[in-house]
Structure 1
């Protein structure tokens, strides 16, 4: 008789140093209590998160594989070996929901190929939380990841996204490496039309959370320091 396969659980984590059970449902805690095999973005971060959820869990029982942008695609099938042996496997990102703007998506894709059941659990997504709080079109929106670093390419991309937003009534969201947030905000205010709306959502779910929507013209009068603070930007023309 063939060994039943384990399930692949997509386990959200906090977006920062927030007490986990303030933003995560009980089902996440139950999953972590029974799962010992994981695919994670960074092992140190994942172990700390698991300890915060279940302080009694024996860390020596945990078996972890790391996945990031440097992971060889040929190594991904082996990460799912615990499922083929009948064990449930958890995927944990460094922040938020695995598989969303996260390398864990490659593991999920391979799980479907191998006929492994995928179980997504509820948790915070900075993309969705920012959209909820922006007041923009939640019926039609896009997440564009990182904008180009080169100033000329960045300006061209910003104008392209602004045009897309206008033509399709589509909210356009993107992020930046936290230490370049202030520079991106300056680029946006130099490039966007004055009446284009901009939402800046920073430190979502943290005590220092800051979310504001205003026109590009009005943003020029607002003083805010986004340096080294996880931030999501959304524009709507």
Structure 2
């Protein structure tokens, strides 16, 4: 167990890792605390140093040392950055936009810092997923951030099957060239649930489209997707959850459930397991592994 007292002096002499939020589009969303932290830290690690230099220049921040830290160099750069912090230097980690360590390699640096006993302090700020959630009109009492869906059709379908059984609002990120395919897959998996498409949040062309998944899909076919998207979709309703709990197969063991489809619908074992996975909100791999066990 590890307990961190963020603002009490430590005896190790090590520095601190600051996770600094940056604007997701509108530079006015930069906080005073974020600017001060970037000015005071000896080191800054950035996903894209060119992008970060523009931000630093705008706020008249002259970095003592700027490092590149991204998905393709994290294995080498991560331990080096940790070594600098252990030696007593403070490091500010930023992503291209929003909170670092959310859908980016910053989470790996956080794990390394925890293993090294380094204090990690969040400097909060703008976040695209939460910004989309609060304007969505969907439930904010419970939500699940699922990030980017898998690219592979099979993996994406399995992810949607599992997520579709959750009752809270579901939040996703998606790029403009994949967003139509993502919404099509959601509509196929879940039907016309209520949803929101938020794009270019905080920027001049910010747009929030609310409707059902089929309506939003048609909207994108009529208006070509532009910019980065956040998708919010309502979770499983209480009625849907109850219907699933009352389903005919609830009393069956997994093997019995598969055998039913093999016998009653004359399906081969692979297709029977696929139907069982869909019924139970599991991935086909989960069903396969459970039967093997």
Q: TM class, shorter-chain normalised? A: 0.7 to 0.9
> Taking CA–CA contacts closer than 8 Å with sequence separation of 6 or more, which of the two structures ends up with the larger relative contact order?
1
Structure 1 match to 2:91: 89
Residue 226 of structure 1 and its aligned partner are, at CA, apart by 5.6
Structure 2 match to 1:235: 233
Q: Which runs of 5+ in 2 are unaligned?
A: 1-10, 237-293
Distance change (3 Å), C-alpha of 1:152 and 1:110: closer
Q: 2: CA distance between counterparts of 1:213 and 1:228?
A: 17
Q: 2: CA distance between counterparts of 1:31 and 1:53?
A: 12
Q: Which runs of 5+ in 1 are unaligned?
A: none
Structure 2 match to 1:214: 211
Larger Rg: 2
Q: 2: CA distance between counterparts of 1:156 and 1:72?
A: 29
Structure 2 match to 1:68: 70
Q: 1: CA distance between counterparts of 2:77 and 2:43?
A: 16
Q: 1: CA distance between counterparts of 2:23 and 2:98?
A: 6
Deviations 1:168-205 (A, max 9, x none): x22112222332223333444455412x1111111111
Structure 1 match to 2:41: 35
In the alignment, structure 1 residue 5 sits paired with structure 2 residue 14 = yes
Answer yes or no: is the 8 Å Cα contact 1:202–1:226 preserved in 2.
no
Residue 41 of structure 1 and its aligned partner are, at CA, apart by 1.1
Secondary structure of the corresponding residue to residue 178 of structure 1: coil
Greater per-residue helix proportion: 2
In the alignment, structure 1 residue 115 sits paired with structure 2 residue 117 = yes
Q: Give the superposed CA RMSD.
A: 2.4
Aligned residue pairs, count: 224
**TM-score normalised over the length of structure 1:** 0.82
Distance change (3 Å), C-alpha of 1:64 and 1:184: same
Answer yes or no: is the 8 Å Cα contact 1:24–1:122 preserved in 2.
no
Q: Aligned runs of 1:56-205 on 2, under 5 Å?
A: 57-58=61-62, 62-73=64-75, 75-151=77-153, 153-162=155-164, 164-165=165-166, 169-194=167-192, 196-205=193-202
In the alignment, structure 1 residue 24 sits paired with structure 2 residue 30 = yes
